[in-house]
Amino acid sequence: MDMRERIEHAAQALTPVHLEVHDESHMHSRGQQTHYKAVIVSEQFAGLSPVRRHQAVYGALGGLMAQFHALALHTYTPDEWQREATVPDSPTCRGGSKHDR
């Protein structure tokens, strides 16, 4: 199971009604399986601030969080997702990694 699949599997703890995990490592200088974007739609996010939503995701992912460099989170309730249903594009990497020459 690759890292993207492991993130998807762990995120099931949030009982998502919609889940997308994208490996965006190709957009960054650190190499493979380091940068991800997740779109998670869950009723569990109802009434939670964005910070609390992200903390819920971190809790669900547990030790996986230490196994990659970055995770862009887009968290929605089902009602929010029905209204918005859009996810911003990730920015292009601007470098700055210790792996850059």
Contact present, 35 and 4 (Cβ < 8 Å): no
**How far is the C-alpha of 91 from the C-alpha of 51, rounded, in Å?**
21
pTM equals: 0.83
CATH number assigned to the domain comprising residue 71: 3.30.300.90
Top-confidence residue, 41 or 90: 41
Residue 92, domain member (yes or no): no
Which structural domain, as residue segments, surrounds residue 61? 3-84
> What are 50-86's pLDDT values in tens digits?
999 999 999 999 999 988 878 889 999 999 999 987 7
Residue 68, domain member (yes or no): yes
Residue 34, domain member (yes or no): yes
Residue 56, domain member (yes or no): yes
* pLDDT computed for residue 101 by the predictor: 44
pLDDT confidence bin for 99, thresholds 50/70/90: very low
Residue 75, domain member (yes or no): yes
Residue 21, domain member (yes or no): yes
Residue 7, domain member (yes or no): yes
> What are 3-45's pLDDT values in tens digits?
899 999 999 999 999 999 998 876 656 557 678 899 999 999 9
**How far is the C-alpha of 17 from the C-alpha of 80, rounded, in Å?**
12
**100, pLDDT greater than 60:** no
**How far is the C-alpha of 39 from the C-alpha of 41, rounded, in Å?**
7
Domains identified in the chain, total number: 1
* pLDDT computed for residue 95 by the predictor: 59
What number of other Cβ atoms are within 10 A of residue 44's Cβ? 17
Residue listed under structure tokens 């998502």: 16
Residue 96, domain member (yes or no): no
